[in-house]
Amino acid sequence: MLPMSLQDPASISLPAKVSPIESSSVTSEPASEPSKILIGITGGVAAYKLCEVTSTLAKAGVEVRVLMTRQAQSFVSALTFAALSRHPVYTDDDFWSAKQARPLHIELGEWADVFIIAPLSANTLAKLAHGLADNLLTNTVLASTCPVLLAPAMNTDMWRQVAVQRNWQQLETNKQASRYHSVGPNSGRLACDRIGTGRMAEPTEIVTTIYSLRHTKGRRDLLGKHLLISGGTTQEYLDPVRFISNPATGRMGIALAQAAHHRGAGVTLVHGPLTEELTNTIPIPIRTIAVTTAEEMERAMLSALPSADWTIMSAAIADVRPTKTVAHKLLKQDLPTHLPLSTVPDIVAQLASQKSQSQRIVGFAAQTGDIVTPARDKLKRKNLDAIVANPIDKSDSGFGSSNNQATILLADGRQRQVAHCSKLSLAHQLYDYLLDVF
């Protein structure tokens, strides 16, 4: 049984330029994953958001190089990005510099493992769509073979122009073969005070997508599949302000949804109550269904099951609920000294019993102590295809943490260990394994 609680909701000088192929000795991810990120910044007010992206990556030990167009330097100085990336910034003035032993665009293009272009302006979008190369940034794109992440930002009317949409669709077509990936644009208030589509994705969403591309190297190996994912907790109310729940935050479910989306899958995420901060990290293309109680989650999951290829039940459902619920807040003296409880429906078992032969059901088991034995029992008893056992009594792991660790168990007895890592990394390692065995 998951833990339960009865709650009341309450002046820097530039260093000399060095070759971009020099490597940092610090890394925040396994050495087998690429860690060289090239950021290309074009002209746009949203260029300021790349300050946070650059800083976040550099602080995490990722090697970051920044190149800027002339127009970009009108919005944020090259000195700012040099300080944040811990490396001089490349501009068009460096393009054919005699100091470079090899053409700079060739060297940068070969160096990069992921190339992000943001804010992607209508002008640069048109150049990419037609293979034009008239500056350092566009020449570097053509001289590279790595995944390219595009983060558009422009006025709503500009974004809606037929020519702009044609160029965008040209880059988005044939996703299986294309090296271009996208994040945004989102909707909201723009710098011109218009409200609509054209707002650049937030730094956290951009960084998360970069981390996914580091892991997958741009593979879209879930393209054509639809994943149904549950996440978060449920709340079973005694009265309007008191409920039985557990500490699950929904981070694991969101990470699973993000990773699946980044790998090309269609995703439906059924989630319990989330903070606004976590809600804002869910990519817009993901279909979300918000629920509160286990009964609501049961209905949503069973309704969405027929269209799912894989269903991953990572939500931590409250195991019991008050037998009686009242519509008004109980006075303190009226609270029951003994609380009659009833069990909630076993959602994952129902999903497994209703799946077709081609569908796959994956459960999660949050455990203390020996995590494998009870998870294996749950795997067999509920007729699941796989289960992810994760400890909730380990430091910086499980509930409330951005990190996790797990043992993945298959119905045929095989299993794989996943060492302590970010929840996004765990999600990707789970998909790597499931793609091998399903």
104-137 per-residue burial string, b: 16 or more CB within 10 A, e: under 16: bbebbbebbbbbbbbbbbbebbbbbbeeeeebbb
What percent of the chain has pLDDT above 90?
A: 71
The most distant pair of C-alpha atoms in the chain lies apart, rounded to whole Å, by: 83
Rounded to whole angstroms, what are the CA distances from 129 to 108, 126, 363? 21, 5, 43
pLDDT of the residue at 177:
66
Q: What are phi and psi for residue 49, nearest 5 degrees?
A: -65, -25
Over residues 7-26, the mean pLDDT reads 34
pLDDT of the residue at 97:
72
Q: State the Cα–Cα distance between residues 228 and 354, nearest whole angstrom.
A: 14
Banded pLDDT at 188 (limits 50, 70, 90) = confident
Over residues 246-255, the mean pLDDT reads 93
The token duo for 25 is 């000795």
**In order of start, what are the domains of the chain with their CATH numbers?**
36-216 (3.40.50.1950), 226-437 (3.40.50.10300)
pLDDT over 60 at 13, yes or no: no
CB atoms within 10 A of CB 7: 12
With beta carbons less than 8 A apart as the criterion, state whether 104 and 112 touch. no
Banded pLDDT at 42 (limits 50, 70, 90) = very high
Q: For residue 281, how many C-alpha atoms fall within 13 Å in the half-sphere facing its CB?
A: 20
Q: State the Cα–Cα distance between residues 249 and 272, nearest whole angstrom.
A: 9
Name residue, tokens 């081609």: 358
How many distinct helices (H) and strands (E) make up the chain? 14, 20
Strand blocks (E) in 74-183: 114-120, 148-152, 180-182
pLDDT over 50 at 32, yes or no: no
pLDDT tens digits for 263-295? 999 999 999 999 999 999 999 899 999 999 999
Rounded to a whole number of angstroms, the distance between the first and last alpha carbons of the chain is: 29
Contacts of 216 (CB under 8 A, 6+ apart): 262, 263, 428
CA dihedral 41, 53, 194, 258 (to 10 degrees): 120
pLDDT of the residue at 290:
96
pLDDT over 60 at 88, yes or no: yes
Q: State the Cα–Cα distance between residues 266 and 270, nearest whole angstrom.
A: 13
pLDDT of the residue at 337:
86
Q: What letter does residue 233 receive in the DSSP assignment?
A: B
pLDDT over 60 at 28, yes or no: no
The amino acid at residue 326 is V
- Length of the chain counted residue by residue: 438
The token duo for 301 is 């999951």
Q: What are phi and psi for residue 137, nearest 5 degrees?
A: -60, -50
Query: How far is CA 411 from its chain centroid?
Result: 28
Residues designated catalytic = 192
pLDDT of the residue at 196:
75
β-bridge mates for residue 38, sequence order: 65, 115
pLDDT of the residue at 198:
75
Helix residue ranges per DSSP H, 217-283: 251-262, 276-279
